[in-house]
Amino acid sequence: QEYTALKLKVLEWAPKAAEAIKGKIPEGANVFLVPATLRPETMYGQTCCFVGPKLTYGLFKVDENNYFVITERAARNMAYQGIFAKEGSIEKAADIVGSDIVGTLVNAPLSLHKEGVRVLPMDTVLPTKGTGVVTSVPSDSPDDFATVTELAKKADYYGIQKEWAELEIFPIIETPSYGDLCAPFLVKKLKIASPKDTKQLEEAKELAYKEGFYQGILKVGDFKGEKVEIAKPKVRSQLIEAGEAFAYSEPERKVVSRSG
């Protein structure tokens, strides 16, 4: 699986995360949260960044001045993809629990929210996929829309400020069947009430992927008016050339044979 790994630079740490990394990296070093995405063309619509609140992340050294917050599993994969200074080895400066990162302000490349977006908790983040960090595009990802809706509804319970989950959701991609806010449309249509409706969310995701990719037309950015199919690799290259993203591959997941 070939992902686009995006570099979300930390602008302001949540207090507990600041405590956890204190003295562990050089003064003035850049730290990035690094989500893995299959939809680089939707990055204009980022409104927050998700971490699994119960997952443990590492702060991994890229080079003298740059560090990534990702799962250890992702760091081990990256070590063999020419991403870190030393091939095949990883250097961890600190461990941070997801819940301690919540509230951190990060810069999300291409996002229309130029003031930055917050790190928020998502219970359904899988530790075994991507980097364990997920960038949130509620306009085009049903999972993300269901989660930000839930977070805004129960902000106190989740220990966040309500406004962090309520950044404006801008239309990014026009589609003939679901309009220009594909995810909210599908969440409503399939009567999805919460992030726990996993079966309907899986179906909504499939529909959103297909419609977005084959029928979608970008409404914003440098490739405005172009078909998603055509614009997708262009947005990706632009991000990579700007140093704001890089290619990250996941080794094939082993399929356990049932016939022995």
Give the footprint of ligand ZZB on this chain (CB under 6 A). Answer: 36-39, 42, 125-126, 129-130, 132, 134-135, 137, 140-141, 205, 208-209
- Lookup result for tokens 């309520």: 166
10 Å Cβ neighbour count for 219?
Answer: 16
Q: How far is the CB of 252 from ligand ZZB (least distance, A)?
A: 13
Cβ nearer to ligand ZZB, comparing 25 with 33: 33
CA 101 – CA 120 distance, rounded (Å):
8
Instruction: Give the shortest CB-116-to-ligand ZZB separation in angstroms.
Output: 17
In angstroms, the CA 149 to CA 193 distance is: 9
As measured in angstroms, the least distance from the Cβ of 65 to ligand ZZB is 26
Closer residue to ligand ZZB (CB): 7 or 25: 7
From residue 226, alpha-carbon distances to 42, 137, 155 in Å are 13, 19, 38
By C-beta, is 104 or 131 nearer to ligand ZZB?
131
How many residues does this entry show for the chain?
260
Instruction: Work out how close the CB of 137 gets to ligand ZZB at its nearest, in angstroms, rounded to a whole number.
Output: 4
The least distance separating ligand ZZB from the CB of residue 15, rounded to whole angstroms, comes to 25
Rounded to whole angstroms, the Cα distance separating 219 from 174 reads 7
Which of 104/135 has CB closer to ligand ZZB? 135
18 or 38: CB nearest ligand ZZB: 38
* Residue 150 near residue 222 (C-beta atoms within 8 A): no
Closest approach, Cβ 205 to ligand ZZB, in A, equals 5
| Start-to-end Cα distance in the chain | 26
Residue 202 amino acid letter? E
Shorter beta-carbon distance to ligand ZZB: residue 25 or 216 = 216
Distance, CA of 97 to CA of 104 (rounded, Å) = 13
Q: Which is nearer to ligand ZZB, 154 or 213 (CB)?
A: 213
For the bound state, the minimum distance from the C-beta of residue 7 to ligand ZZB, rounded and expressed in Å, comes to 14
